[in-house]
Each structure stands twice: as structure tokens, then as C-alpha cells.
Amino acid sequence: MRLCGIPNCDTVRKARAWLAGNGIEIPFHDFRKNGVTREMLEQWIGKLGWEALVNRKGTTWRQLDESEKLAVDSAEPAIELMLKKPSVIKRPVLEMEDRILLGFDEREYTETFKK
């Protein structure tokens, strides 16, 4: 199990605070310090689809020029963009043995960890 994201992201902070507040210790993988690999992205895309991983509401996406945005029309261009600009990945990404949780939803975390 591993939580992936950027430590100064508000949503990542909420997820980490929820986990800590519930006594759950999970290793954290910082996209900026530790990078993101093609293998990671391919695994996530295999479970979630590339569309879910690209955060089209974030600052990084909004700062792209229109041609860069239009080029992200399938998995391969999405992977290339996420490798080049990891902050465009929706976060946090919580990797678990059987599934991946994307973003932070308190109800979903509660249901997942209170079993």
C-alpha cells in the first residue's frame, strides 16, 4: 500500500491528515521528489483509465496551451504529459493490493479502512 501525490496539495493533505487521525500509517511517494514512472502510470490507467488520472481542473492543466490540451486524446499522450508534468495527475493516488483510490473522499476512506 502506498499514497502518492504532492505534499503541498490540499487534497493530499486532507488524505494524509485523515489517515494519521485514524492511526493508519501508509508510506508516501512524493511525485516531485521521487518522480512518477511509466510503469506506475500504466498500472493506474489499467485500473482507472487515463481520463480519470488527468486533472483537468488543476492549475497545471489550465496553464497548458490549447494545442497541448487537445493532444491529450488517448492513453499514450496522457502518459507523456504526466511524465513531463506530474502535477497534472489527479491526487492523491492510494495504491492498494486489489484497487486504487483516486482523490480523497472521506466516506470512501472510512468504508475502505474501517472493515
Annotated catalytic residue within 4, 9, 15, 36? 9
Q: Please write down the long-range contacts of 100-105, taking CB distance under 8 Å and 24 or more positions apart.
A: 100/44, 100/47, 100/48, 102/48, 102/52, 102/53, 103/11, 104/11, 104/12, 104/14, 104/15, 104/18
Q: Is 9 a catalytic residue?
A: yes
Q: From start to end of 7-98, where are the E strands?
A: 28-30, 93-95
Catalytic residues: 9
